[in-house]
Every structure is written in C-alpha cells, then in structure tokens.
C-alpha cells in the first residue's frame, strides 16, 4: 500500500480552478486504479501555512516538536506526491514555497555532508506537478521565464525525489469558449491517463 500526499496550493474551489479540475480527475482515476492506497489531502490554505518567522526559525533546530518537523515527517513518510499549483507570476503561489520552507528540514528530508547537501528521502518515490497557466511556457520564447515547474522539480530532487513529471494546461487566459473547453478537456484526459500508471 502506498501513501499519496496530495498537496493543493490554490485558494480557489475545485470547480473554479483549471489546476484542480486536472488534479481531481488525476486523484479520482488513481484511487479507482489503486483502491488500497491512502490519499492524504493537504490543502495548504486550509492548513494555514505561514511564512517562517523569527520564532519558528529559533525553534527549527531546537529538538522541539515543531510544526515544520510535523510537515517534514509527513512528507518523508509519503511514497508519492501530487502537487497541484497554478502558475502565478512565472512561479507557483507563495504558499507552496512557504510549505517547502517547512518541509526541507535538515535531519528529516536532507542532510549536510562534507560533499554538500544530500536528500534523505528513500529511493523510488515519484511525483507529479499539475499546473494551469494563463499563457504558454512549456515551449517557445516564454519557456525560459517558467520558474514554477523548475522550482518544484529542483526542490523535490534536492530531497531525493527523482521521478517527477508534469501535467499542464496552458493558454487559459488566452483561449475562450469552446476552444478553451476542448483544450482543458484534453489536459484532463491526459491527467487521467497518467494517473493509471502513476
Ligand atoms: C496572481 C496571479 C498571477 C498570475 N501570473 C501568471 C503568469 O505569470 N503567467 C501566466 O501565464 N498566467 C498567470 N496567471 C494566470 C493563471 O496562471 C491562470 O489563470 C491559470 O488558469 C490559473 O490556474 P487555476 O485556474 O487553477 O486557478 C496568474 C494568475 C493569478 C491569479
């Protein structure tokens, strides 16, 4: 039995978010295919993830049971990660970075060595980043400005997750009407296909 951590980083409802339309379809298909697996949903807005402040930094390596350690241990214990986060200002919503500031914790998800930092997550974990973007960044001239998918992949790799894929829908701010609907439906179908072999 695998544990899937479903991380949601958008204040919108499932119905109002293209990102969540894809991620909910992904999770539903995955659950149908893997009924014995456990899905743990982490809605970062409902969790009330905050920016690290001076008090939290003071507690970070104090040996206390902190909120950072709780989330880092939960992250380390999961086998698979579904990260649903729209593109905001070329990256991801800040709450996702704030969450990773809890989770990337020395001694739990990575360690320092003489050769530099090394991820502590067990091998074999996999992740998918699901993202809706108003414009087109997967290829073409704007691809160099894309920093959300790049950050998610880099920070997961830092902790030891190497098998990471992306499901995106693009041009949600450009396409309209039926064309937009068809484009999003194609991305939802792609999400369902990916979920079958995740
Ligand atoms: C605060 C904010 C910043 C955004 N920044 C970008 C951006 O940099 N590039 C882009 O293509 N779209 C941008 N968008 C548009 C969203 O990526 C687009 O609406 C997408 O569909 C949002 O996903 P959602 O439908 O899951 O909320 C931004 C939207 C918001 C609300």
From CA 34, how far away is CA 102, in angstroms rounded?
Answer: 29
Q: What range does the domain containing 165 cover?
A: 3-196
Residue 44, domain CATH: 3.40.50.360
Three state DSSP letters for 185-198: HHHHHHHHHHHHCC
Cα separation of 4 and 97, whole Å?
20
Which residue out of 15, 89, 130, 143 has the highest number of ligand 1 atoms within 8 Å of its CB and is therefore the one to mutate? 89
pLDDT per 10-residue tile (average), the chain, 198 residues: 98 98 98 98 97 96 94 98 98 98 97 96 97 97 97 98 97 98 98 98
Q: What pLDDT is attached to residue 63? A: 87
- What total number of domains does the chain contain? 1
**Which residue CA neighbors atom 2 of ligand 1 most closely?**
88
Distance CA 187, CA 198 (A): 16
Q: Identify which of 7, 172, 188 to mutate to test ligand 1's pocket (most ligand atoms within 8 A of the CB).
A: 172
Position 172 scores a pLDDT of: 98
pLDDT at position 51 is 98
What count of Cα atoms within 13 Å lies in the side-chain half-sphere of residue 194? Answer: 23
Q: Are 129 and 191 in contact (CB under 8 A)?
A: no
Contact 23, 84 (CB under 8 A): yes
Atom 7 of ligand 1 has which residue's CA nearest to it?
89
What's the pTM?
0.98
Pocket of ligand 1 (CB under 6 A): 10, 12, 17-20, 86-90, 132-135, 172-173
d(Cα 78, Cα 73) in Å, to the nearest integer? 9
């Amino acid at each position: 039995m695998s544990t899937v951590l479903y991380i949601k980083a958008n204040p919108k409802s499932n119905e109002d978010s293209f990102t969540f339309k894809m991620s909910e379809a992904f999770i539903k298909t995955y659950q149908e295919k893997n009924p014995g697996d456990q899905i743990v949903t982490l809605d970062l807005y409902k969790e009330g993830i905050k920016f690290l402040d001076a008090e939290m930094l003071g507690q970070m390596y104090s040996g206390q049971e902190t909120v950072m350690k709780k989330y880092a241990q939960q992250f380390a214990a999961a086998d698979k990660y579904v990260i649903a986060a729209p593109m905001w200002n070329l990256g991801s919503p800040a709450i996702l970075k704030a969450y990773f500031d809890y989770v990337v914790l020395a001694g739990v998800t990575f360690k320092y060595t003489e050769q530099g930092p090394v991820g502590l997550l067990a091998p074999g974990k996999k992740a998918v980043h699901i993202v809706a973007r108003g414009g087109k960044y997967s290829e073409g001239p704007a691809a160099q400005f894309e920093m959300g998918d790049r950050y998610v992949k880099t920070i997961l790799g830092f902790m030891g997750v190497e098998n990471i894929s992306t499901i995106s829908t693009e041009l949600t701010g450009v396409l309209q009407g039926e064309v937009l609907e068809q484009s999003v439906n194609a991305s939802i179908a792609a999400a369902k296909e990916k979920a079958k072999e995740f």
